[in-house]
Structure 1
């Protein structure tokens, strides 16, 4: 019989009889079947309101509520999908990473979950039988509670993701000091945020100082200069042992070192190297800098590197190298071509030129490196000279840019955010993230070139005019659609022959020749 029939109850002589509207009395079997059908209908409609908000209400007296909920949910999903997939998923996701975007997501997840759950509860109430047995009522209640959890738990996880992101971003994004050198050239609003900025220069600094002690030492320095139209990128590694580096005229240390950072009284300039600039400003001469300058070491390092390469540095990102290991692990590893005969793990070069303390080797060949091996791939010094090490670092940047997978990152989102919050600082504005995501998408289709600074000048007596000339020639190279794309990986054999060998020297090497072309395609060496 139909569950839409409206049975009535009459009590005669202490017995209970159930009848339909036309007065026909139902048998006990028919009553049990009718109530069973009512329960199935209630469970089905409650389940439908769980699959999509309000759908289950379309078969109840509250059908217009169901229509309103279902249409509101559809409109919300369509708007979110359009924002997410228009212009690429990475760019779309970055739209929600802005301050307003994160607040909007928080509101959507919280209010959306509450309204969705309300639809489930209303559906359950509207479909509940008035004369069900206690067992049927508890079955319906338990199912309804389960359906509420099906919605509430993912919503709570989404809220947690937003909260973790906001917490990490509060640590990551810092203000740039614009007291010297002017403000950064940033994107604008509109369909093409980089329309008025033909080139943007980003400084990547690696520190081995440990968490919250970035001021102690810069372990690696690299400028990424990006053509915003073509996506062509030029990597310029700055040797950590460069001497006589120039301070800009408006930097307080220019008066201390008018002829460059050079101190022969400390042993032929042995202490006055590029990687000592941060400490020189941050610790030794902080009193020379304005009181409102939060990090003279970072600012001076950025300004000096800008002088070396002849480019204004727009943005700076600092990553603790130990934290780099956590990030790579959180991302699920990175694929690299390791050159023959492999790369030593650990070890150091003694004053007598002997290599001691090597604890293992990264085997040669194309393979997936976890965070620990990726760190040693990027940092190992006993595998060759600092020049070889910088080449490997450029290869690592090349691989990380190309292997970024938004879907995989979403599954490891919390770990990535927590690692980033603890180990990365950058002065990019958070609200500019969508524009930078779009720029990364362009970089994937552009050429990736390397300026070989170390192979072009002597570390102890650099020709800075020559470095600037090489950088200028690299930036003026036209886009080559046939050039290897970022992340293009040569075969293992070709990589072994073209990449610098990872031998274990008996003395630390110094590159003073021009055996490598001043400007090369980065992918060819990776």
Structure 2
């Protein structure tokens, strides 16, 4: 029996060490060197794939188990990624359950990988190795563990940051009238259109109250990706509020100034969010944010569109977001009838409507160029040269440019900074688990027509004709898809720049900045 155990022990050692140690000292050194090279080589193989090096040791079955687990994980991820398309599948991993799965894969996979390296190193160490050789072998194994642990730790950190950020950004939908997408590869098959309100918040350090700097409705055809952008002027008055809104009792004839109100924003769209906040007591305790609800209802009354979702972006956050993305290419054109050679940066108007001397701090020169966050912010909000109408036009152009230039691979490279900005400055009242549906929709928008509707009338903004506005918006929505019209994907050329400089050759297909037609292709007005 003892003889069998001895033979069995020799057989087990033979699996890890291919020959019995020779008797001569020289041969023993050569044999040991061979063992060390083999141990290092097999340990290195387990760095390439978990447990790969174990296939040539007595723990071959353990190595097969590790590789089998890896194969199952990779096949499962491939099924998730490619079921319903790569965009839809990738977004599946960003849902609540998807991020938990990724977190488990990162942590569990990392531990499995490290276990494979350590187990290979322990299995291949020779019984007769001197202490120094054992130490060097262990040091090599530890170094290989660091090679694997570093990227695994970074991946785990990124998943954790994403999970935390999305938990803050996506507030969940309490809007009972929202068009909620379904599941599967075509989540919008039963929903012909979805309307999203983009709210640019102007609640800066010098602002006492929350107010919008921009209000844009993006009405998207879920089949074609065609998008209609409707900018609601900040100075529009008499916005109708539905009977379902608690403020309707105070403003039965639309949002107007109440007796005794002296605030410059009273009765105008720029003051409607704060009106909701100031009357929280009129709303049910479990209601959504009263400012959000009232703004959404007012915009719906102005445009005639049921608002499904609202995305709120702080303006300073917009600047940081563009910087985090690496900038945005824009074909800058002077506003019509402007005395400025480009778009003014800064600027204040006095009570007579004249520019306060010294308030303009710079100018964005004309031409197709790459704007940083600060320039992009002022391109979108500057109004001293020509007023709100041209500013709203430029805001629609900025949306068109951003949609066309978002590059997922570049976004991954700037992932951490983008997530940090988003967590602090963006709020969206949609469910995180609907991300695959919205990713699919955003991808369709790149190939769809993008049209702008100008509902502003400086003469009648104080008391507009809402029936006419509704008809105008509906006409834009009813316009059939034009495969020859500019799309966000075709309207800009961020690759046109031959170098990393901030300027680039002028893009093709430019046209005048304004159009007599209140409905126009967004790219043509940019």
Question: TM-score, normalising length from structure 2?
Answer: 0.88
Shift of 1:518: 1.7
Contact 1:214 1:320 in 2 (8 A): no
Shift of 1:4: 4.5
* Residue matched to 2:151: 154
Task: State which of 3, 12, 19 in structure 2 corresponds to 1:6.
Answer: 19
Question: Residue by residue, what CA displacement relative to the aligned partner does 1:405-455 show, whole Å, maximum 9, x if unpaired?
Answer: 111111111111111111111111011001100111111111111111125
* Residue matched to 2:61: 64
1:371 pairs with 2:373: yes
Question: Residue by residue, what CA displacement relative to the aligned partner does 1:85-127 show, whole Å, maximum 9, x if unpaired?
Answer: 4444432221111111111111111111111111111111111
* Residue matched to 2:45: 48
Matches within 5 A, 1:122-141: 122-141=119-138
Question: Residue by residue, what CA displacement relative to the aligned partner does 1:159-211 show, whole Å, maximum 9, x if unpaired?
Answer: 11121112112211224444xxx431111122311111111111110101149
Instruction: Tell me: CA distance 1:214–1:46, structure 2 relative to 1, closer, same or farther (3 Å).
Output: farther
| Partner Cα separation in structure 2 for residue 457 and residue 445 of structure 1 | 36
Shift of 1:492: 3.1
* Residue matched to 1:523: 523
* Residue matched to 2:178: 184
Matches within 5 A, 1:29-428: 29-178=26-175, 182-210=176-204, 216-263=210-257, 271-283=266-278, 285-340=279-334, 341-356=341-356, 357-428=359-430
Contact 1:448 1:486 in 2 (8 A): yes
Instruction: Tell me: CA distance 1:328–1:37, structure 2 relative to 1, closer, same or farther (3 Å).
Output: same
Instruction: Tell me: CA distance 1:377–1:495, structure 2 relative to 1, closer, same or farther (3 Å).
Output: farther
Three-state SS of the structure 1 residue aligned to 2:41 is helix
| Partner Cα separation in structure 2 for residue 191 and residue 434 of structure 1 | 9
* Residue matched to 1:498: 512
Instruction: Tell me: CA distance 1:92–1:150, structure 2 relative to 1, closer, same or farther (3 Å).
Output: same
Query: 487-496 or 372-381: which moved more?
Result: 487-496
Contact 1:215 1:297 in 2 (8 A): no
Instruction: Tell me: CA distance 1:87–1:342, structure 2 relative to 1, closer, same or farther (3 Å).
Output: farther
State how many pairs are aligned: 490
Three-state SS of the structure 2 residue aligned to 1:481 is coil
Contact 2:196 2:308 in 1 (8 A): yes
Contact 1:344 1:382 in 2 (8 A): yes
Question: Residue by residue, what CA displacement relative to the aligned partner does 1:51-89 show, whole Å, maximum 9, x if unpaired?
Answer: 111211111111121122123212312322342344444
Instruction: Tell me: CA distance 1:171–1:493, structure 2 relative to 1, closer, same or farther (3 Å).
Output: closer
Contact 1:447 1:479 in 2 (8 A): yes
| Partner Cα separation in structure 1 for residue 30 and residue 276 of structure 2 | 85
Instruction: Tell me: CA distance 1:85–1:403, structure 2 relative to 1, closer, same or farther (3 Å).
Output: farther
Contact 2:88 2:440 in 1 (8 A): yes
Instruction: Tell me: CA distance 1:193–1:5, structure 2 relative to 1, closer, same or farther (3 Å).
Output: closer
| Partner Cα separation in structure 2 for residue 120 and residue 381 of structure 1 | 62
| Partner Cα separation in structure 2 for residue 495 and residue 252 of structure 1 | 48
| Partner Cα separation in structure 2 for residue 157 and residue 147 of structure 1 | 16
Shift of 1:270: 6.3
Instruction: Tell me: CA distance 1:445–1:426, structure 2 relative to 1, closer, same or farther (3 Å).
Output: same
Three-state SS of the structure 1 residue aligned to 2:162 is helix
Instruction: Tell me: CA distance 1:486–1:404, structure 2 relative to 1, closer, same or farther (3 Å).
Output: same
Question: Residue by residue, what CA displacement relative to the aligned partner does 1:352-393 show, whole Å, maximum 9, x if unpaired?
Answer: 332131111112111111111111111111132101111111
Contact 1:495 1:525 in 2 (8 A): no
Three-state SS of the structure 2 residue aligned to 1:498 is coil
Question: Which runs of no fewer than 5 residues in structure 2 stay unpaired?
Answer: 1-14, 335-340, 494-504
Three-state SS of the structure 2 residue aligned to 1:205 is strand
Query: 169-178 or 156-165: which moved more?
Result: 169-178
Question: TM-score, normalising length from structure 1?
Answer: 0.88
Question: Which runs of no fewer than 5 residues in structure 1 stay unpaired?
Answer: 9-18, 20-24, 501-514
Query: 331-340 or 219-228: which moved more?
Result: 331-340
Question: Residue by residue, what CA displacement relative to the aligned partner does 1:478-509 show, whole Å, maximum 9, x if unpaired?
Answer: 11111111141388376775125xxxxxxxxx
* Residue matched to 1:471: 473
What is the CA RMSD across the aligned residues, in angstroms?
2.3
Instruction: Tell me: CA distance 1:417–1:481, structure 2 relative to 1, closer, same or farther (3 Å).
Output: same
Shift of 1:3: 9.2
* Residue matched to 1:505: none
Contact 2:368 2:507 in 1 (8 A): no
